[in-house]
Amino acid sequence: MAIGRRQLLTSVALSALAAPVLAQGTATRAAAAAPAPAAPTAITGSGALVMQVVAHEDDDILFMNPDLSNTLAAGTPSVTVFVTAGNATGDPCATACWDTGGEPLRTWNRQMGAVNAYSRMTGAGDTEPTTDEVGHWTAEAWTVAGKQVERYVLKDRPVHLIFLNLHDARLGGVLAGDTDTTVVPVGSPLSGPSTYTAADVVEVLRQLMVTYRPTVLRAQDELPDSRYSGDHSDHVAAARFAGQAALLYGGPVIQVNYRDYNTSDSPVNLDPATVGTKGVFVSEYASHDHSGNYSDSWISRMYYRWSRGTSWAGLNQDGRPQVFVVRAGALHTYWRQADGSWGGPVRMADPGGRLAPGIAVGSNADGRLEVFARRLTDHHIVSLPQGTPNGWWWNGWADHGNPNAGTGNEDQVGVPVVANSQDGRLELFVRNGGGGLSSIRQTTPGGVWTDTWTDLGGTDLQDPVTAIRNGVGAIEVFAGTRTGVLGWWQDAPNGAVSGPGPIPGARPASPPKAALDQDGRIELAYREAGTGAMLVSYQIRPGGSWSRSPAPLGGHGGVGEPAATTHDGRVVLFERNRGGGVSTTAQTAPNSGYGPWQDLGGTVLDHPAALVDGAGVLHVFAIGTDGRVSYRTGTPATGYGAWQGLPL
């Protein structure tokens, strides 16, 4: 039965949910008053807690779904922090901004919109959007770092909503040095307003992280792509506050950032069924906030700001896998040991600033691995090499600068990818600040790098690009745009790169991923705009022309590029599917078509990675909502073993 806000505040024991404000360096999970829920479902089965930090009460529903709803459906503990009240004045709204209880205050409307949407996403509420679902929740005023916040706890489920209630449209000013006094909603349990500086916002968020110990932090876009529509200053400020708090928190949290308003400038990348489900959740919110603008363009899309990519795993010289993951801006690694067990995690050398999550792993001519990343603090491309094959790593990163240094758009450079020329030299490619492709290369195999980036042309490239050496020994590079796929190629092995030229195909809804057929032809897999289905374009001959149209592979929905590898001469693809797990398909024979898709399960963050080790064993890696790197091994013919998690 739905109950009104004033009834709620007098009918629950608010103190039962109180958790202490913890000193720095201590951490306990906040306990709910309801009975303990069943163990959360994640790849490894336990330990997950996902925290969302957003500016407004609809930002998570619009821009982080279906990731958010998949997390909740899996039973993963979740805490969402709304930094603003979504109310610019704090005054009662006009009659157009009403709620079913008749209390004319937009802050209350927006809070109840969030309550309703989360009730529906978790299955706690009914299917009528206009029903007030607040009776499924308990509420309290909670003091965190000296500031009072509102906390709602969903009964019998590990879901908390926390409202800081700063003013809408002022968060950017607070980030720049202003102060703001919070909105106190009508009927709120708060005893009065709180005043915030930027340091206060960061400290409250840090204290919340210390209290809840999130394994994953979802945040908004801290650096919107300047090629597209502008974003709300509150979105950017909330993302930057979240990032600063995560660094000060210092825990092994994995951060995922999402694009916001400018997703409308990119192709539809959610399948129709997912769009329909997401629309239901948006309707639950919108029934309480009539002033919102809920464009279909946001409901039909979800894009990550920094793609993790699918190249974050590599092979040591002796054939043992090694994987790399960015946690709290620093690089960590795991490696297969000689006895079959896994070593790690080891935090690698300080990169001199926070890293984006997209890591590319290359192999030098002498067998030493080298990892490449984008540093967020100065927008430079950096790399870290092994000191010896299969062995130790250097304690300092090489700085390769920025292809757009001095042009004013340095901050728009993408994440790197790497490929080997036939003579063993590494070549590095990145989407530049103007939306084209730039590259540098080693001057000798395993040696120093060229000082100057080469602009290879192109426009409207989407992150990340993909690079591979074809069957005749020449590197080819591919990138998706918002209308098609472009390709570049070495004119001869070890030679200069020409292009771009169009690859025949459909409008893509993801970056492409390249893999090599047994006969040396390239297969290029990407998602189709509007359906999310997987497509494959393929070369007619090695290094030659392309199929006139891509082959449709279908799939299990989802977003983003697939991972790809070649096992026993057959290309194998892995996608993050619409349910948040991993699905796979493989060629039925070398150089042929693909078989049916298989759902490998799991609840993963974004993009998997795949490789075949020196013993011929296929590995697929993914990062779960528990923050762990997990993997399955097997073959398309014999099947795959269970997910196994690596330690945090």
CATH number at residue 106: 3.40.50
The pLDDT score that the predictor gives to residue 89 is: 64
Exposed/middle/buried for 637, CB within 10 Å: 0-12, 13-18, 19+? exposed
DSSP 67: H
- How crowded is residue 265: how many other Cβ atoms within 10 Å of its Cβ? 15
> What's the whole-number mean pLDDT along residues 466-495?
98
C-alpha span between 565 and 246 (Å, rounded)? 34
Q: Is the pLDDT of residue 29 over 60?
A: no
Residue carrying the six token digits 């192709």:
267
Model confidence over 363-394: pLDDT tens digits?
Answer: 999 999 999 999 999 999 999 999 999 999 99
The pLDDT score that the predictor gives to residue 3 is: 27
Please, which pLDDT band fits residue 59 given cuts at 50, 70 and 90?
very high
> What's the whole-number mean pLDDT along residues 216-223?
98
Whether 290 is in a domain gets the answer yes
> Is residue 342 a contact partner of residue 328, using CB atoms and an 8 Å limit?
no
One-letter identity of residue 216:
V
> Is residue 613 a contact partner of residue 336, using CB atoms and an 8 Å limit?
yes
Whether 457 is in a domain gets the answer no
Whether 13 is in a domain gets the answer no
Please, which pLDDT band fits residue 185 given cuts at 50, 70 and 90?
confident
Whether 339 is in a domain gets the answer no
Model confidence over 239-248: pLDDT tens digits?
Answer: 999 999 999 9
Domain with 61, as residue range(s), is 50-93+101-300
> Is residue 438 a contact partner of residue 427, using CB atoms and an 8 Å limit?
no
The pLDDT score that the predictor gives to residue 73 is: 95
C-alpha span between 519 and 515 (Å, rounded)? 12
The pLDDT score that the predictor gives to residue 129 is: 72
- How crowded is residue 39: how many other Cβ atoms within 10 Å of its Cβ? 11
* Tally of structural domains, the chain: 1
Whether 285 is in a domain gets the answer yes
Whether 447 is in a domain gets the answer no
Cα–Cα distance list, 59 to 236, 257, 278, 294, 571 (Å): 12, 12, 13, 11, 39
Please, which pLDDT band fits residue 105 given cuts at 50, 70 and 90?
low
Q: Is the pLDDT of residue 40 over 60?
A: no
- Collapsing DSSP to helix, strand or coil, 571 comes out as strand
Residue carrying the six token digits 């299969």:
390
> Is residue 50 a contact partner of residue 81, using CB atoms and an 8 Å limit?
no
338-350: string of b/e by CB count within 10 Å (b at 16+)? Answer: eeeebebbeebee
Q: Give the torsion sign (CA, 447, 450, 453, 457).
A: negative
Whether 294 is in a domain gets the answer yes
Close Cβ partners of 391 (under 8 Å, ≥ 6 residues apart) = none
Tokens standing for residue 49: 């807690």
Residue 598, phi-psi category: left (phi > 0), alpha (psi -120 to 50), beta (remainder): beta
The pTM score is 0.91
C-alpha span between 142 and 495 (Å, rounded)? 64
Whether 386 is in a domain gets the answer no
Please, which pLDDT band fits residue 509 given cuts at 50, 70 and 90?
very high
DSSP string for residues in 284-319 = HHHTT-TT----HHHHT---BSS---S--EEE-TTS
> Is residue 179 a contact partner of residue 167, using CB atoms and an 8 Å limit?
no
C-alpha span between 301 and 611 (Å, rounded)? 29
Cα–Cα distance list, 23 to 209, 249, 258, 456, 475 (Å): 12, 11, 30, 52, 54
The pLDDT score that the predictor gives to residue 643 is: 96
Tokens standing for residue 51: 């925290």
Residue 591, phi-psi category: left (phi > 0), alpha (psi -120 to 50), beta (remainder): left
Q: Is the pLDDT of residue 589 over 80?
A: yes
What does the mean pLDDT of the chain come to? 89
> What's the whole-number mean pLDDT along residues 296-308?
95
